[in-house]
Structure 1
């Protein structure tokens, strides 16, 4: 089969027949977030992560919490649905993942470490606590979608775009962003709302791997994108 000219594909068995392919635009909405079709996923921004008991860790996480306050406030102002996930497992550990991954063997840390369901750690800091109209989902695996009902909610709300942040960046957030791409969801990742225990992995995820599946933006950029009026 001959190579077709750019923008065309040859049909096997019919070399003279060429079908024009519609070029997919990669410049759909680079400068704005369409509030009418977007939803915000507050990925695992629970007390254990953002307001830990250790004073030094709490101080280190304060900028992330402040970024969430700003982003959630902006989304509320634009009537963007806000979806919270929190990582939980049963107190008896019956649903805990203990698979022998390379990293778990090397570090001695289980492949998945959730909060205990129903404990204060699994809740959210007062500054970003869910409101009655928000959506809260318990999450037992890394993806924001697997076994949660979030994908079904997005379909019900007819939302085809996501704004997301959370932690760990290179684990659950990236897992969710990759899955969102497979679901044809237009995703924006907000840098300052992400965190991770491994600085190099956190940076690589934001600067390299997630850029294949989403637009990665600073908080200031995301707020500006939300402020652009929706074009009808």
Structure 2
């Protein structure tokens, strides 16, 4: 399997998808790829707008995308995809649309068969076994929490250490601790902004200048950098 699971699309003060574009280029290779783009996480803007936004950046690195919404048969589009790209937005809406179109199991089978997969934010969430470590508001019934299950661990994208001033609610770490208390056999990777996980075959590594925070029930959270071994998460 080949996966590139990105925490966030945009760093503060930067253009959309600017910071990970060369990682995406390296991942897809030098030969031009026309990837299938799944824009279902978009809520307040159109799928066409989303597709155009992604395409503008991909053209800079010699690749392109075509939105799945242009196809009369979304299942066939997945089956024939050269690469699959799932954009961020609202995870609940994304999963509902993927489920309504019968794509979740198809994506699992296709990517397990070797088709490259790139996701950011919600697109990284749906590569996990469940959507339940998303940060998003459940604006729609996803008709089930199970997703593509491409990796055996959970990701919390946009992981934050900060506790905003004048905020009396729970921190992100508290919320993840609640999850692992209820799901004691599952690792959760707090994936900070500006970082991504890259799986090539059976080798998983962290890319980016910041560390990832690893959570497991009964263990103290652990900070791992790009120099550390992440393969234990695949077992």
Q: Provide the TM-score with structure 2 as the length reference.
A: 0.38
Q: Which has the larger radius of gyration?
A: 1
Using structure 1 for the length normalisation, give the TM-score.
Answer: 0.38
